[in-house]
Amino acid sequence: MTELYDAPVAARDDNAPVIDAQDIRIWYGSERGPVKAVDGVSFSLRKGEILGLVGESGCGKSTIGRGLLGLLPPGAEMDGALRFKGEDLLALPKKEMFAKRGAELGMIFQEPLTRLNPLMRISEHFEETLRTHEKSIGKEEIQRRALEVLRLMGIPPTRYRSYPHEFSGGMRQRLMIALALVLRPAFVVADEPTTALDVLVEAQIIRILHSLRSEFETSLLLITHNLGIIAEACDRVAVMYAGEIVEIGDAREVFSDPQHPYTRELLRSTISLSTTGLNFIPGAPPDLVNPPTGCHFHPRCPDAMNICATRHPVQHAMPNGTRVQCWAADLAHGRAPDLTEDDTAPLVREEISVADEA
């Protein structure tokens, strides 16, 4: 399947990708068998690019983020090809991976309130991080560099020696960002960085993340379930469903002209001031131990055809430059010429009852 994912979408320049993930699979062991949390995901990010990763809870977004940094819990297996600046991260010895983490690959987490050690001053967090990666760094140099990033995050230098509990939630997330950026990593994963914060603070954090490319030239993988954040901050967006990327492309294209029925339904479910009725996608995300045959989305898809229930669709480039994994989109744009009339007939199935959803 690898050959289908080769070229990054809409390459605007010849910059080599900072991070290049091909056919990533991450399985967790469970009593019922392997949970295919991530099943053949491919994407790449160029310098300073922001890729948004959206999807429902449990679709494998956070697992990818942790997998890229080698932070998967024991019992998880990861496979595929993961290159960072051309270097194969999956083949890297554990020790070298530790050296990369923090220095070249950063991570910003969801819950800023519990991510700082309550017994350590902010200054000690910076000292520890900088000393780990630059053994001979002096105390003054540490302070100079820490205060520099803190200033960019709007934290006054007077707070440098404070304890984590003396900061608000928004400030703590800015501290976490500062801590992730003090070593200027080339690639940062932000895993739902604003979920625990209120709307005003959210906007502030998104502005900061958006400005990272100019200040630090950081490539950012922004994991979220908030489509508004993607629209505001991201260059490209990847929509995930049941461990797979079903649609990936330029954020504006995906939002204005979604090709995959799931993306379309997700966008329709967004609540705004002009919302008159609540839209939702019937059914629940599938079981990742035994995913549905064919397209994983077909049991909930409004456009499902007979073929969707039997054959898994492959990713194809669409005329607007996005790549989509959907039989209906293939059919609409002539990407699947060999489908028979029976294949394309609407799928007959039992109505999804309320009881099934519960």
Give residues in contact with other proteins (CB under 8 A). 69, 71, 98-103, 106-107, 109, 111, 114-120, 128-129, 132-133, 163, 165, 176, 179-180
CB of 59 to other proteins, least distance (A): 21
**342-345 long-range contacts, CB within 8 A, separation 24+:** 342/306, 343/305, 343/306, 343/307, 344/305, 344/306, 344/307, 345/305, 345/306
CB of 21 to other proteins, least distance (A): 18
CA dihedral of residues 162, 163, 166, 168 (deg, nearest 10) = 100
Nearer to other proteins, 73 or 334 (CB): 73
H or E segment to which residue 254 belongs: helix 251-256
Q: Residue 104's closest CA among 34, 19, 215, 199?
A: 19
Q: Give the count of beta carbons closer than 10 Å to the beta carbon of residue 119.
A: 8
Say if CB 296 and CB 241 are below 8 A apart: yes
Nearer to other proteins, 116 or 288 (CB): 116
Nearer to other proteins, 75 or 118 (CB): 118
Report d(CA 160, CA 356) in Å as an integer. Answer: 53
What is the DSSP code string of 78-135? Answer: EEEEEEETTEESTTS-HHHHHHHBTTTEEEE-S-GGGSS-TTS-HHHHHHHHHHHHST
Block residue for tokens 């959206």: 54
Nearer to other proteins, 111 or 232 (CB): 111
Instruction: DSSP letter for 153, please.
Output: T
Nearer to other proteins, 110 or 315 (CB): 110
CB of 92 to other proteins, least distance (A): 13
CB of 39 to other proteins, least distance (A): 24
Nearer to other proteins, 142 or 304 (CB): 142
CB of 288 to other proteins, least distance (A): 22
Q: Give the count of beta carbons closer than 10 Å to the beta carbon of residue 300.
A: 20
Report d(CA 110, CA 64) in Å as an integer. Answer: 14
CB of 108 to other proteins, least distance (A): 9
Which tokens hold the place of 232? 């505001």
CB of 15 to other proteins, least distance (A): 25
Instruction: DSSP letter for 166, please.
Output: G
Nearer to other proteins, 176 or 208 (CB): 176
CB of 118 to other proteins, least distance (A): 6
Nearer to other proteins, 172 or 296 (CB): 172
Bridge partner list, 21: 43, 82
